[in-house]
Structure 1
Amino acid sequence: MFVNYKLPILNINSLVSIIIPNYNRASLIGETLDSIIIQSYTNWECLVIDDGSSDDSENIVKGYTEKESRIQFYKRPDNRPKGANACRNYGLEFSKGVYINWFDSDDIMHPEKLKEQIKSLESNKFPFSVCQSYEFHNNLKNINLRYCSLKSENPFEDFLSKKIVWLTQAPLFKRSFIVENNYMFDEELQAGQEWELFARILFDYTNYGIVEKPLVYVRRHSDSISDGMSNDRMWNYYLARRKIYDRFKLKLSSKAKISLYRNFLFFFKCFVREKDFRRAKIIWMTNLRQCPELFLKDHFNLAMGCVFMCFFNKGDGYLSRVSLYDKK
């Protein structure tokens, strides 16, 4: 669901708006805000949008707003859908910056992030810049470079096939670029939303700035929303791919279509293994049935995989016979 909220295009010299959705991160958001406060680039504002937290998040953030005027606290209004996407879009409405950086409430900024990426944008005509990231557990003493390629001659296709990858925190956008193209987060999605947004952007724009430095620390921990994948989360990841397929169906190259069909087949198999046959059937009816690269024997094997999983709790032998990775 995309809503045009008629956001104003403002002209405040080089101000960066950092927008952070928050839900029950009282124990972590302070570390995130501390990393923003020590940015070497100081012309920023940070908008924390609370998504109905039941912990002490509000008091924690308000404590920061009392000491640091650049930090602001808002609550998602009741008439907006629950979820980080609505919070991100809502925060954008209040933002005043020339640049926009969506960030997460449990991650950490490298002190040079804003400075390095603004330098990348101001020295070129790029609409946004992306950077590398670190991953860490619990504290910054144990970090690993989450290296993913950022360069591509065909960013949209390579983003679909995961040859290039970046997360929500990595891009710094020009506000005018976001507003003029109405690049809002899809508020219907509860997972996969950043992938869906970036895929939309890369379909339209292939030029962007690259900073080959890790300027974000992405936290991995037991209650991270990035860890594990429930059936509901998996379904939203599928829906994100389906939205991109439906949106650009008539304009997709054969390579892009194959990448998306591989995703559909992957999620179909996952739901069959989880015995969520209702969702598996929807994927087959909506996407796999029309895939020109799947033949009668493939559909037979998928059907037998469902039958054997349903009645005998096994069926991987049939499912594994169907693959689209030999297609180009």
Structure 2
Amino acid sequence: MPNEKPFVTVFTPNYNREHLISETIESILNQSYTNFEYIIVDDGSTDNSWDIIQEYAQQDNRIKAFRNKKNLKIVKTRNKGFKLSSPKATYFAIIDSDDVAISKRLEIQVKFLEKNPKYGLVGSNKYIIDENSQIIGYRNYPLSDKEIRKTITIYNPIAQSSVLMRKKVINMIGYYDQKWKFCQDYDYWLRVGRFWKMKNIKTPLIKYRISKNQVKSKSIKDTIIYTYKIQEKAIHKYGYPDSLLNKVYRVFLRVILIYPKIVYILYRIRFSKFPF
């Protein structure tokens, strides 16, 4: 595409993903939409990730590689990506270092936001892949702004790795809240939704990877705790409506916190349909 097309920042945070980062990088470099910079921030990896990232950066000048001197953890690293985005960028895309973008992802999402100025961000449905990049599942999300708002105080209806947002949104909303160790993206979408419409594309635009060691009972319990706290904040601080269904669901969250092992088993059986 010609350079008069809107400029996009694509951002990937990385930590110890030497066996996966190449596939992620190549999925971005092979996008049909080419007017972008690709910022990769390595969070002090102890494996060979940084060497791999540097090698790609030497081959393609769209890649801008940065490395944290020490491990800052994911939220600070994500916020660093916001800060490093070029001032000329109109849009900001996210892709995590174990996920894969479909080749027309940026093209489809930029086209949507260009045609719909009231929308602050656009995500998509996603494929679920295993450690060998084989598709093993599929995750549907609510598509329209109306559908997203019906569910956003019940569960996170937007896949972070699928998001393309306006830089105007970041300038207005700010960065991720660093107090949220988990679910910081969920809080961010709730903040965005106060001022902008949101959309998910029906066609899956990313492949989201699930590894054998990724899902742990403890991490699910922590996710539930943060989900509950963020929902309470959305209702009592941001003014989102508190329906009977929302209240019942939050009671459900409190109950399953007592038995997180059950949630872990359910997640392993049908993770592609699980709402967290």
Length-normalised TM-score, structure 1: 0.70
- CA 1:147–1:155: 2 relative to 1, 3 Å: closer
Match of 2:149 in 1: 156
Supply the AA of the counterpart residue of 1:95.
S
The one-character-per-residue Cα deviations of 1:12-33 (angstroms, maximum 9, x if unpaired) are 9611111111111011001100
- CA 1:138–1:94: 2 relative to 1, 3 Å: same
Q: How does 1:56-135 map to 2 (within 5 A)?
A: 56-76=48-68, 78=70, 82-96=72-86, 97-125=89-117, 126-135=119-128
- 2:184 is aligned with 1:196: no
Length-normalised TM-score, structure 2: 0.82
Aligned-residue sequence identity (percent) comes to: 23
- CA 1:260–1:33: 2 relative to 1, 3 Å: farther
One of 259, 278, 283 as aligned partner of 2:246: 259
Supply the AA of the counterpart residue of 2:83.
E
Q: How many residues were matched structurally?
A: 254
Structure 2 counterpart SS, 1:115: helix
Match of 2:131 in 1: 138
Give unmatched runs, 5+ long, in structure 2: 262-276
- CA 1:154–1:40: 2 relative to 1, 3 Å: closer
Supply the AA of the counterpart residue of 1:190.
K
Q: In 2, distance between residues paired with 1:222 and 1:38?
A: 28
- CA 1:237–1:15: 2 relative to 1, 3 Å: farther
Q: In 1, distance between residues paired with 2:105 and 2:35?
A: 13
Supply the AA of the counterpart residue of 1:193.
Q
8 A contact 1:191–1:236 mirrored in 2: yes
Q: In 1, distance between residues paired with 2:75 and 2:211?
A: 21
- 2:222 is aligned with 1:229: no
Q: In 2, distance between residues paired with 1:189 and 1:39?
A: 32
Supply the AA of the counterpart residue of 2:76.
A
Give unmatched runs, 5+ long, in structure 1: 1-11, 276-328
Q: How does 1:249-328 map to 2 (within 5 A)?
A: 249=236, 251-255=239-243, 259=246, 262-263=249-250, 265-273=251-259
Q: In 2, distance between residues paired with 1:36 and 1:186?
A: 27
Compute the displacement of 1:47 (Å).
Answer: 1.1
Match of 1:218 in 2: 208
The structure carrying a bigger strand percent of its residues is 2
